[in-house]
Structure 1
Amino acid sequence: MLRIAVQSKGRLFDDTMNLLSEADIRIPSSKRTLLVESSNFPLEVLFLRDDDIPQSVANGVADIGIVGENEFRERQEDAEVIEKLGFSKCRLSLAIPKTEKYNGIEYFEGKKIATSYPTILRNFLANKGVNADIHVITGSVEISPGIGLADAIFDIVSSGSTLTHNNLKEVEIVMKSEAILIANKQMEAAKKTILKEMLFRFSAVRSAQDKKYVMMNAPKDKVKEITEVLPGIKSPTIIPLADADWCSIHTVLDEKRFWEIIGKLKELGAQGILVSPIEKMIL
């Protein structure tokens, strides 16, 4: 049985539960239980505070964990980063009052900076040769300048709306973060086998993201031109139709270029274009 540590609430919790669900790993819904077992996969989920996850994995309380890269770098625990997961993206940034003029990193020399991430901030400032007074607080860091507790803040930024609401502006992005999967370095072989299967499922889910399955009818004399504009995974599937002059072409398109490519297909004579979402994709 593999044990995974997961944040007990918040956006990272929601994103992690969605990933497990899409990988067909069923977890009973219970907000009062610390440890729950999957009903169809050899996995148990340990719900923890996000800042407790790195240590729990490093110490072997959990075999693996999903945590924000920012928390992992801050805690500096001895665990292995398996892979980045591509969700719960944010950044750690320095922000100052909107009315302040900012001319560069030397602005922070001698300033008091409020943060919940003193290790990351201290390392960043040391590399820049800046001496500042780092004031460690938990909770609502962004209110610190407004109440006179600090001159600036160093905190997580997603959309930036919280900074705007507190009359702050982002001036330096120190690191970009997303959810990562970490593992205990002493994990036994049997658990590594389970992890391998889980990673295979995660890969299938992520490969399908932002992809569309496209089917169309096309004149046979236009097949070569059509296939040249299709950036499919490999070669598109071509199926003959009852009309000897026509065929059906099936492929996968990236959603980012979808409308651009569809327009070219129509110009080349493609008709009856059918688009479907993809749930999983095994490469």
Structure 2
Amino acid sequence: MTCLLPTKSGKAAFLGDGLRRQIRRISARLTVRQSRCLTCASIRQHESAARVYRKSVESRSSIRMGIPSKGRMAEDTMQLLDDCQLKVRKINPRQYAAEIPNVPGVEVWFQRATDVVRKLVSGDIDIGIVGYDMLREIGNQDEDLVVVHDALGFGGCHLAIAVPSNWEDVISLRDLLSDKRWSKERPLRVITAYMNLATQFFADQGFDYVELSTADGALEAAPAMGAADCILDLVSSGTTLRENNLKQIEGGRVLDSQGVLVASRTALLNRPGTLAVIHEMLERIEAHLRAEGLFMVTANIRGSSAVEVATVLSSNGGQLLRGLQGPTVSPIYTYSTDGSSSKEGSYYAVSIGVPKSRIYETVKQLRKVGGSGVLVFPLTYVFDEEPPRWSALMNNLGLNVRDFEHLKIGEEFANDGQA
């Protein structure tokens, strides 16, 4: 029997039986047998499992940030940074290095998502934006990787097991793992690009008879081709699964993922200026994301005092008219027809922050208490006294947040907005 394979030149090459047997022996050596499951090792798995020699902080003085270079994740990352007034500027469009003018001293490097994580681990970059799925797969829970912001609001998806739709008896993960078809001689064949996460998942489930193989794309075709029984892959809308006659199963959701901001613990603790950069970025990102979907509703209401107006709002509108921390009530100075000032306090301006979905409901409640001249406009930023995730980061690093109070009003980025 002779096998016909394509070559780089596009011509066909013939493999004889002897050469084919040699290829089989090489392939056999690449198979990793584990105590609980059989895993066909991939280059990615070998790289992530290999020992990484981390570069010392003293090897460079600059602060480096890595962001995805291609695809939807790259576009969403650039859009988020732009919305937060952290616009990335490439000096030369052909280079992979860039800068953020509003944060001087930071180098931005465009990398593949996998390489963002690898370079964080190796110490080549200090800060990165990447999908949580890739962080877990490549980072493999490295203790030096610290998630600074776990919900950047884009790249939402989940890693899940999908089986052929015509497997009517397989509805849940329990059904799949208890299926009598799988044995030591005939294991369940799962194809995935997430070897580390898949290996850990099946080990946690205590499943003995599974064979994992790797591929980087078009996983949905593998079951129909007979190359695998099922897949473990990222799912967003589920449309691609349905179009390839696949279905998700209950209990087969391995991991939820979206864009995250991550940093090197070593750099945060030892590289001068890294904590200040993270604080600046975290404040901007938190303020922007908190403002998404929020609108400011302003109305004029009659009353004898600001306290009376606030009391009326609280008693009649409940939580809806209290806003984020309470309504803002301020006096309006009106004038009579003869030009003289009227008595202060006949009208008060009330401002309330509300979700977009409740704007009209808020307007109706304000009208009930005498509101008029209602104005509605979107919010761009909502700054807290301190981002909650900053306090969480300080706790993670074993630092006292009070020692970094100066960052709230620091002069590290005094040239902000002059790019």
Instruction: Give the TM-score taking structure 1 as reference length.
Output: 0.91
264 and 14 in structure 1: CA distance in 2 versus 1, 3 angstrom threshold: same
The amino acid across from 2:77 in the alignment is: T
Larger Rg: 2
Uncovered stretches (5+) of structure 1, i.e. residues with no partner: none
Deviation by residue 1:30-61 (Cα, 9 ceiling, x = unmatched) = 66321112233222211111111111011111
Match for residue 206 of structure 1? 289
Q: Verify the 8 A CA contact 2:127 2:263 in the aligned structure 1.
A: yes
- 5 Å matches for 1:84-233? 84-87=150-153, 88-101=155-168, 102-106=170-174, 107-108=176-177, 109=182, 110-130=187-207, 131-171=209-249, 172-187=252-267, 188-220=271-303, 223-227=310-314, 228=318, 229-233=320-324
The amino acid across from 1:34 in the alignment is: Y
> Which stretch of structure 1 is more off in the superposition, 80-89 or 48-57?
80-89
Percent of matched pairs sharing the same residue: 29
Shift of 1:145: 1.4
Shift of 1:5: 0.7
**Secondary structure at 1:15 match in 2:** helix
258 and 133 in structure 1: CA distance in 2 versus 1, 3 angstrom threshold: farther
> Which stretch of structure 1 is more off in the superposition, 214-223 or 189-198?
214-223
Note if 1:237 corresponds to 2:328.
yes
Cα separation, 1, equivalents of 2:164 and 2:254: 18
Note if 1:71 corresponds to 2:134.
yes
Deviation by residue 1:56-106 (Cα, 9 ceiling, x = unmatched) = 011111111111111111111442222213322111111111111214324
Match for residue 27 of structure 1? 88
Q: Verify the 8 A CA contact 2:152 2:261 in the aligned structure 1.
A: no
The amino acid across from 1:226 in the alignment is: L
Cα separation, 2, equivalents of 1:31 and 1:256: 41
Cα separation, 2, equivalents of 1:156 and 1:265: 46
Shift of 1:153: 0.8
**Secondary structure at 1:122 match in 2:** helix
Instruction: Give the TM-score taking structure 2 as reference length.
Output: 0.63
Cα separation, 1, equivalents of 2:310 and 2:97: 55
Shift of 1:192: 2.1
Structure 1 runs of 4+ off > 4 angstroms?
A: none
**Secondary structure at 1:18 match in 2:** helix
The amino acid across from 1:104 in the alignment is: S
Match for residue 278 of structure 1? 379
> Which stretch of structure 1 is more off in the superposition, 240-249 or 20-29?
240-249
Match for residue 266 of structure 1? 367
Shift of 1:218: 2.3
Shift of 1:256: 4.3
Measured on the aligned residues, the alpha-carbon RMSD in Å equals 2.1
Q: Verify the 8 A CA contact 1:36 1:45 in the aligned structure 2.
A: yes
Note if 1:246 corresponds to 2:347.
yes
Cα separation, 1, equivalents of 2:377 and 2:113: 36
Q: Which has the higher strand share?
A: 1
Cα separation, 1, equivalents of 2:360 and 2:158: 31
**Secondary structure at 2:273 match in 1:** helix
260 and 173 in structure 1: CA distance in 2 versus 1, 3 angstrom threshold: farther
The count of aligned residue pairs is: 283
The amino acid across from 1:7 in the alignment is: P
